[in-house]
Amino acid sequence: MTKQAKFQTPSGMHDILPEDQPIYQKIYNTAAHVAEFYGFQRIDTPIIEDAELFSKGVGLTTDIVEKQMYTFKSKGGDYLALRPEFTAAISRSYIEHGMFNLSQPVKLYTSGPLFRYERPQFGRFRQFHQIDLESFGEKSPAIDTQIIQIFHNILKELKFKNLVIEVNSIGDSQCRPYYKKLLTNYLKARESSLCSDCRRRLRENPLRVLDCKEEKCQPVKAHAPQIIDHLCDECKVHFKQVLEFLDEAELPYRLNPYLVRGLDYYTKTVFEIFEDTEQGKALGALAGGGRFDALVKILSGKDVPATGAAAGVERIVQVLKERQKKSFDASQGKEPSQIKVFLAQLGELAKRKSLRLSEEFRKAKIPIAESLGKDSLKTQLRSADKIGAVYALILGQKEALEGTIIIRDMRSGKQDIVKIEKVIAEMQKRLEK
């Protein structure tokens, strides 16, 4: 006898179960509502892109390209990748569809799954979801602040408290080369104190050392020269204006001179948003991004200033679920249901009529529950009680023939008979009370 295989989700990937769907939808709906208020329009790009898009746009020496991309060759010989991030993909779409001919700035937002092969750990998955906003064609520091404000507002709408924005400038092609030389000299003198990854980064991209989270590298980072002291005049003015806009918007921020973000395309402003609590620090940034003025030029040769950011959905879900659980435990009661009406039916004729009646309730925007496969009234009323329904509608053979229906108040047990064509109006009246 052969042993049956036990299939599970691949390592680092997860199902989003029905009980978690409302949290995900709330996050997506909140983000869409705030983004659209600020003039951002929805875009969706393919999950699969040309792998070179990311190696060229994100950077060959980034962890994403070096170690984390899921790549494969198609039957036709194309070298493809599951998208590891949104910015390069949306930039490709902006270029491909000639959006530089539209009125600028072009503001776009999206959400969906991304894929990175990294060690699964607390709050990190190999398939994960992000909300992403990108703005093309505007070089004013005001748009940097607007992007920060939007993500701050989304998190506030989702009831996050004690939010703090960490912000820095990493300069541009004018001032960064000198700083990189300065940083390289500093790090080379302390190479033995760095982790193995940072010793490699020192040779390939020394700025990435400042992004390292390893405990061993923190003392070296803490005394490294700060790029903010070596900005060119243009970058200095830009960053000063970003901070002035943040002050004007009364957004809570602090300077982090070692914040660089992990991708090569960033220029000038970079930021991350945290919840300033012990749990928040352990979880990491909820959202982050910055300006990427060079990316469109790298991909197409056209000089287009741009800025954007993304928020990790799973991290937000994790916090919201924990809070929901604490709130539920504290109440020590039954979790409230959105469904207040249960439709019980007995017999074939009643079941047939209930299908049409369910559609009438849908049109009236009154959510209902039912158990079409159950014949016992006792079992169906038990189901109604389990979901916390306030009313049970009972449609038996007799009622189906007479064109009536029984309304049972689940709290008092009181029952009333009404004409089936009047039940929608009656339920609207009762539920309003």
Tell me which of 94 and 217 has the higher pLDDT. 94
Are the C-beta atoms of residues 134 and 91 closer than 8 Å to each other?
A: yes
Give the DSSP H or E segment for 236. helix 233-248
Helix (H/G/I), strand (E/B), else coil: 247 = helix
**Is the predicted pLDDT of residue 13 greater than 70, yes or no?**
yes
Which residue, 324, 359, 381, sits at the end of a domain? 324
Distance CA(199)–CA(217), nearest Å, equals 10
Tokens of 412: 């008092």
Question: Within a domain: residue 201?
Answer: no
The answer to the question of residue 122 being in a domain is: yes
What does DSSP assign to residue 124?
A: B
In a domain, 211, yes or no: no
pLDDT value at position 26?
95
Q: Please give the residue range of the domain that contains residue 401.
A: 341-428
- Rounded to whole angstroms, how far apart are CA atoms 66 and 262? 12
> What's the CA gap between 198 and 224, in Å, rounded?
14
pLDDT digits (tens, 9 = 90+) for 46-78: 999 999 998 887 776 566 666 688 889 999 999
Decide if 112 contacts 129 (C-beta within 8 A): yes
Terminal CA-to-CA distance of the chain, rounded, Å?
Answer: 62
Given a cut of 90, is residue 405 above it in pLDDT? Answer: yes
Q: Residue 390's domain is classified under what CATH number?
A: 3.40.50.800
Boundary-marking domain end, from 296, 324, 352: 324
pLDDT bracket for residue 334 (50, 70, 90): very low
Contact, 164 vs 273, CB < 8 A?
yes
The answer to whether residue 65 is domain-embedded is yes
Structure tokens at 129: 């979801």
Q: Which of 42, 260, 246 is nearest to 147 (CA)?
A: 246
Return left, alpha or beta for 403; rule: phi > 0 is left, psi -120 to 50 is alpha, else beta.
left
Instruction: Give the span between the Cα atoms of 115 and 127, in whole angstroms.
Output: 5
Question: Is 70 exceeded by the pLDDT of residue 333?
Answer: no
Say what the alpha-carbon torsion angle 240, 245, 249, 255 is, to the nearest 10 degrees.
Answer: -30
The C-alpha torsion from 226 through 229 and 233 to 237, rounded to 10°, is: 80
In a domain, 180, yes or no: no
CA 362, distance to chain mean position in Å, is 30
- The CA distance from 390 to 339, in Å, is 8
Please answer whether residues 103 and 153 qualify as being in contact, where contact means their C-beta atoms are separated by less than 8 angstroms: no
Give residue-wise pLDDT tens across range 78-131: 999 999 999 999 999 999 999 999 999 999 999 999 999 877 666 678 999 999
Predicted pLDDT at 262: 65
- pLDDT given at position 282: 75
pLDDT tops 80 at residue 411: yes
DSSP per-residue codes, 59-92:
-TTSHIIIII--EEE-TT--EEEE-S-SHHHHHH
In percent, the amount of the chain with pLDDT more than 90 equals 57
192 assigned to some structural domain: no
pLDDT at position 133 is 98
Do 31 and 105 share a domain, yes or no?
A: yes
**CATH number, residue 247:** 3.30.930.10
**Cis before residue 219, ω within 30 degrees of 0?**
no
Q: How many CB atoms lie within 10 A of CB 314?
A: 17
d(CA 389, CA 385): 6
Do residues 240 and 272 both lie within one domain?
A: yes
User: Based on the structure, what is the number of domains in the chain?
Assistant: 2
Integer CA distances (angstroms), 376 to 344, 372, 379, 400, in order: 9, 11, 5, 17
Same domain, 73 and 137: yes
In which residue are the tokens 């993304």 written?
310
The residue type found at 78 is D
**Is pLDDT above 80 for 431?**
yes
| Average pLDDT taken over every residue of the chain | 89
Tell me, yes or no, whether 78 and 131 share the same domain.
yes
Tens-place pLDDT, residues 182-199: 999 999 999 888 998 888
Q: Is the same domain home to 55 and 124?
A: yes
Residues 320, 244 within the same domain: yes
Give the domain-ending residue among 279, 298, 324. 324
| Contact between residue 224 and residue 201 where contact means Cβ atoms under 8 Å apart | no
Residues 92/97/100/102 CA torsion (nearest 10 deg): -140
List the Cα angle 169/174/180 in 5-degree steps. Answer: 70
Q: How far apart are CA 323 and CA 312, in angstroms?
A: 17
The answer to whether position 45 is within a domain reads: yes
Candidates 205, 209, 240, 239; CA nearest to 224 is 209
For residues 265 and 300, membership in a common domain is answered with yes
Residue 179 belongs to what H/E stretch? helix 176-188
Provide, rounded to the nearest whole percent, the portion of the chain with pLDDT above 70: 93
Is residue 331 scored above 50 in pLDDT? no
Give the model's pLDDT for residue 280: 75
pLDDT at 327 (0 to 100) = 59
pLDDT tens by residue, 119-165: 766 667 899 999 999 999 999 999 999 999 999 999 999 999 899 99
Same domain for 354 and 381, yes or no, is yes
348 and 309 share one domain: no
Other beta carbons less than 10 A from residue 54's beta carbon: 26
**Interval 279-326: pLDDT, tens:** 777 788 999 999 999 899 999 989 999 999 999 999 999 989 888 776
Residue 263 falls inside a structural domain: yes
Q: In the predicted model, what is the mean pLDDT of residues 339-361?
A: 88
Same domain, 293 and 399: no
Q: Assess whether 361 and 252 both reside in one domain.
A: no
Residues 266 and 403 occupy one common structural domain: no
